[in-house]
Structure 1
Amino acid sequence: MEQLRQFAVKKLGYTDIDSNAVEEGKLALYRDFIKIIFLRSGSHIQVDFKEYHLQQDALFFVQGGQYCQIDEAVSNGALLFYNRDFYCVEIHDKEVACDGILFHNIYEIPVVYLEEAQSAIMQGILAEIKSEMQEEESGMEEMLRILLKQIIIRSTRLWKQAHQVQNEESRQDVEFARRFSQLVEAHYITRHSVADYAELLNITPKALQKRVAKYSKLTPNDIIKDRIILEAKRLLVHTELSVKEIGYKLGYEDPAYFIRLFTNHTEESPQHFRKSYQSAV
């Protein structure tokens, strides 16, 4: 059952995930929303070409613009979707903001795996959200925001525990990595080099390399190129733009250079990737 509450320009929605609720292609309707997806063990989900076959309950934190697809035949859980106007508190608390750790990090698509007790707590909060949305009580908007923030705070704590963020130095490193990730997200079309981002961060390229290496096996150059290639894949699969047009859209005026970059990164040409992906779905 899908429910949507709108408070002026602020929007928050909830829908159950099961074989009856998540119709094929329906997730595309929520693409521009920030999403928190709770899935039970045994569920299957794909987020931006990465597949997860869950062996335990988990929460996924998906930014607006990311593509995700849930195998509704085997999946069950819940989906929260909301816009930045409903929840964005970066001025007060960077870690749990709409651009916080769970939505901007350089390590992976943010997923938090849940032990049985942790899952029970999250399911309880989701049930409260679902119940609250069915009422017409005063203070509903603020209550829903408080419940949403509970999920984000608890999940941020679990993510930090899993990544051994235990002291002030490690917290500063994670905050630095988050800032780097945000800059890549904002500028990957126009800024393609490590030196570009080092300049934005007021450090040397070598210092950027050293700080990123503390928490990632990827180099800063890998992270920048991964983001460019991810967008190229999205455009290849979800638009009819030509390879030349995609390269130009991503800041490469020389189509041959863009094709070499994509091929070296993925071990297949853009044309072959498009054909193979479309034939598989």
Structure 2
Amino acid sequence: MQEQLIFEDHYKKLGLEMFSEENLGTINGTQFGYDIKILFIPEGYELTIDFNHYKVSKTSLFFLTNQHLTIEKGKEEAILLYYNRDFYCIQIHDKEVACDGLLFHNIFEIPFVELTDTEASDIKNLFQHIKNELEWKDSSAEEMIRTYVKQIIIRATRNWKKQHLNNDTVRIPSSEFDIFRDFSRHLEIHFREKHNVADYAELLHMAPKTLTHKFKSLNLESPNQLIINRILLEAKRLLIYTDKPVKEVAYNLGYEDPAYFNRLFTNKTGNTPSNFKKNYSSGKKYNF
């Protein structure tokens, strides 16, 4: 059994796991649930993130926080880098490459970037440098590792922009993107207690109509629908991956009236929360 590659100092933590078909069990499960995660996934892997299934056709980087991850198959060696906010969160320096930057929480729910062969080789070398630092355990390792993590995120952020901005998937001018990134960040922080567009417009220092118009003008889902989507996603996670009863799920998501939550869930998904949990647990899969 290989030595665990991990850095820990007071509240700061970062670790690296190499895995392949033989040891997928080391990745699947809940042990990394609260960590920020970057996965280097070669072609041929299949994985489920929350309720979406991915077949990896090109080497890709996946960026996850509290999503539920299950890796189902894959042959070549893959890499999981995991860390907490105390180790790396530089929001005050550059929002785009922070722990709440473009890659980890965005309204388009695109948690990965595809890499060319050259990019994949460069990124894999950065992971190798991190592995070396973790093995050497030098006194300067922490700062060196943080530098390599930042390089991975910067390279991936550039790729994400190239692949998802001003193209057929998402048509958002770079000059307009701050508002969407900030909305995503606030939504991730506040979705349990703030359910109205006006709440987020206030955080963004604009009128609710202005915020809604910005989304509409770019043919994006409305802020109201995105708020509902985020609440429903969390509801599905709690229903499937925990033993919480429906009433407790409703309270957890900020609904004092469980009946109202039940009606909202049923109206938007076509299933009551109880039926959703029962059907999914019995093997019926949904496409969201």
Please, what TM-score do these two structures have when normalized by structure 1?
0.91
Cα deviation, residue 21, structure 1: 2.8
Match of 1:199 among 194, 198, 202: 202
Alignment map for 1:129-140 (pairs within 5 Å): 129-140=130-141
Identify the residue that residue 39 of structure 1 maps to in structure 2.
41
Paired with 2:279 and 2:5, the residues of 1 have a C-alpha distance of: 37
217 and 161 in structure 1: CA distance in 2 versus 1, 3 angstrom threshold: same
The answer to whether the Cα contact below 8 Å between 1:44 and 1:74 also exists between their aligned partners in 2 is no
Identify the residue that residue 64 of structure 2 maps to in structure 1.
62
Over the matched positions of the two proteins, sequence identity in percent amounts to 43
The answer to whether the Cα contact below 8 Å between 2:64 and 2:104 also exists between their aligned partners in 1 is yes
The answer to whether the Cα contact below 8 Å between 1:243 and 1:271 also exists between their aligned partners in 2 is yes
Identify the residue that residue 266 of structure 1 maps to in structure 2.
269
Identify the residue that residue 242 of structure 1 maps to in structure 2.
245
267 and 76 in structure 1: CA distance in 2 versus 1, 3 angstrom threshold: farther
Gaps of 5+ in 2: none
Identify the residue that residue 180 of structure 1 maps to in structure 2.
183
172 and 7 in structure 1: CA distance in 2 versus 1, 3 angstrom threshold: farther
Gaps of 5+ in 1: none
Identify the residue that residue 108 of structure 2 maps to in structure 1.
107
Identify the residue that residue 229 of structure 2 maps to in structure 1.
226
Does residue 1:275 correspond to 2:278, yes or no? yes
The answer to whether the Cα contact below 8 Å between 1:36 and 1:79 also exists between their aligned partners in 2 is yes
Cα deviation, residue 138, structure 1: 3.4
Paired with 1:10 and 1:216, the residues of 2 have a C-alpha distance of: 41
Paired with 1:25 and 1:272, the residues of 2 have a C-alpha distance of: 30
Question: What code does the residue aligned with 1:30 have?
Answer: F
Identify the residue that residue 95 of structure 2 maps to in structure 1.
94
252 and 20 in structure 1: CA distance in 2 versus 1, 3 angstrom threshold: same
215 and 40 in structure 1: CA distance in 2 versus 1, 3 angstrom threshold: farther
1:140-170 Cα distance to aligned partner (Å, 9 max, x none) = 111111111110000001111112369xx93
Match of 1:11 among 6, 10, 13: 13
1:11-32 Cα distance to aligned partner (Å, 9 max, x none) = 1100012123320774410111
Question: What code does the residue aligned with 2:63 have?
Answer: F
The answer to whether the Cα contact below 8 Å between 2:212 and 2:222 also exists between their aligned partners in 1 is yes
Paired with 1:50 and 1:272, the residues of 2 have a C-alpha distance of: 19
243 and 116 in structure 1: CA distance in 2 versus 1, 3 angstrom threshold: same
1:155-208 Cα distance to aligned partner (Å, 9 max, x none) = 001111112369xx9334222111111211222122212122222222222211
Cα deviation, residue 72, structure 1: 4.2
136 and 197 in structure 1: CA distance in 2 versus 1, 3 angstrom threshold: closer
Cα deviation, residue 223, structure 1: 0.7
Question: What code does the residue aligned with 2:84 have?
Answer: N
Paired with 1:276 and 1:125, the residues of 2 have a C-alpha distance of: 43
Question: What code does the residue aligned with 1:34 have?
Answer: I
The SS at the match of 1:28 is coil
The SS at the match of 2:109 is coil
The SS at the match of 1:134 is helix
Count matched residues. 278
Please, what TM-score do these two structures have when normalized by structure 2?
0.89
Question: What code does the residue aligned with 1:59 have?
Answer: L
